Amino acid sequence: MELLFLGTGAGVPAKERNVSSVALQLLGERGATWLFDCGEATQHQILHTAIRPRRIEHIFITHLHGDHLFGLPGLLGSRSFQSGETPLTVFGPKGIRAFVETALSVSGTRLRYELNIAEIEEGVIFDDERFQVIAKRLDHGMPSYGFRVVEKDLPGPLLVDRLQALGVRPGPIYQQIKQGKTVMLDDGTVIDGREFVGPPQKGRIVAVLGDTRFCEAAIELARDADVVVHEATFAAAEQRLAHDYFHSTTTDAAEVARRAGAKRLILTHISSRYQGEAALQLVAEARKVFPNTDLAADFASFSIPRG
């Protein structure tokens, strides 16, 4: 599991930062990539990475401001020409369906794969045997959502050494034991499979938040998360400006992570007014409130280990 930032700027593209998009790489977990937001030129940014558009399984749009979705029609169209044949689902606020369908229709774009569009509200928006995604509405000038990606706990490892010490050879019986079943060995010995399985491996939690002022919903989404991705459009000294434009400062983001008991914070959606040393000061401000803070840059990647 890895986060790869494709665009980390706010509002308009800049030389150092393209507009918003971040990929959650789940290649080991499900052989897929999930994309969060798709600002203008996201597909161009992808060309500089190892991401394969055909592996993009879900795209989550936080809100309908252009710097978060103007790149979506182009990416959807290009995927057809890049061996993309598997289904893809776009999740987003009400209006995302009209935007995508109109763009594809007017441009005469025909997709070679099944495209599903889900207009979301608060609650569980995706759930399968491996992952759950929860959406909550944040505090922005238009409906804007944050997403909590929860990896479900994995079964504990089979304690092979203990089984071999009892003379239990590998085979179908190992699968039964790993499932916690009671089994009988060839010599008539009965063993409880639960005694030969280690403790469950706790799943990881990633919170990716759209544009927002400081709010309780952000804290709830970030609760005990391994990583929180939070906008930090403005420096701490610009609190009034941030509030007026429905955005967050560095210290707002850090306070969300602190109150949520998160393990790590990554700042993104940085205004173009902060270049070079000024950008470094942003992360320094946040670290005064939440020490384990990093500043995202375009093409920066962050692995998310277990435990």
Q: 30: domain CATH number?
A: 3.60.15.10
- Residue 131 CA to residue 154 CA, distance in Å, equals 11
Please tell me whether residues 132 and 176 are part of one structural domain: no
Which pLDDT value is given to residue 166?
Answer: 85
Please tell me whether residues 75 and 24 are part of one structural domain: yes
155: helix, strand or coil: coil
Residues that are catalytic: 67
pLDDT digits (tens, 9 = 90+) for 249-305: 999 999 999 999 999 999 999 999 999 899 999 999 999 999 999 999 999 999 999
Q: By the 8 A CB rule, do 3 and 22 touch? A: yes
Question: Of all helices (H) and strands (E), which one includes residue 78?
Answer: helix 72-80
Q: pLDDT tens, position by position, for the chain (307 residues)? A: 999 999 999 999 999 999 999 999 999 999 999 999 999 999 999 999 999 999 999 999 999 999 999 999 999 999 999 889 999 999 999 999 999 999 999 999 999 999 999 999 999 999 999 999 999 999 999 999 999 999 999 888 889 998 888 888 888 899 998 888 999 888 888 999 889 888 888 999 999 999 999 999 999 999 999 999 999 999 999 999 999 999 999 999 999 999 999 999 999 999 999 998 999 999 999 999 999 999 999 999 999 998 7
Please tell me whether residues 173 and 257 are part of one structural domain: no
Please tell me whether residues 120 and 186 are part of one structural domain: no
Task: Compute how many other C-beta atoms are within 10 angstroms of the C-beta atom of residue 155.
Answer: 13
- Residue 272 CA to residue 131 CA, distance in Å, equals 35
Domain that holds residue 29: 2-154+202-303
Binding annotation: 63, 65, 67-68, 140, 211, 269
Closest CA to 68 of 11, 25, 119, 133: 11
- Residue 42 CA to residue 21 CA, distance in Å, equals 7
Q: Two tokens at 8? A: 């980390």
Please tell me whether residues 98 and 114 are part of one structural domain: yes
Which pLDDT value is given to residue 248?
Answer: 98
Which pLDDT value is given to residue 198?
Answer: 87
Please tell me whether residues 39 and 94 are part of one structural domain: yes
The dihedral through the CA atoms of 260, 261, 263, 264 has a sign that is positive
How far apart are the two ends of the chain, measured CA to CA in Å? 13
Which pLDDT value is given to residue 167?
Answer: 85
Please tell me whether residues 56 and 117 are part of one structural domain: yes
Please tell me whether residues 19 and 74 are part of one structural domain: yes
- Residue 285 CA to residue 65 CA, distance in Å, equals 27
The dihedral through the CA atoms of 214, 220, 223, 229 has a sign that is negative
Looking at 129-231, list the stretches that DSSP marks H as alpha helix, in order from N- to C-terminal side: 160-165, 172-178, 216-222
Q: By the 8 A CB rule, do 131 and 236 touch? A: no
pLDDT digits (tens, 9 = 90+) for 124-152: 999 999 999 999 999 999 999 999 999 99
Please tell me whether residues 96 and 140 are part of one structural domain: yes
Binding annotation for Zn(2+): 63, 65, 67-68, 140, 211, 269
Q: DSSP strand E in 108-234: where?
A: 115-119, 123-127, 131-137, 145-151, 182-184, 190-192, 205-209, 227-231
Please tell me whether residues 182 and 258 are part of one structural domain: no
Domain boundary among 141, 168, 195: 195
121: helix, strand or coil: coil
Please tell me whether residues 178 and 219 are part of one structural domain: no
Q: CA-based Rg of the chain, rounded to a whole angstrom? A: 22
How many domains does one find in the chain?
2
Domain boundary among 195, 212, 245: 195
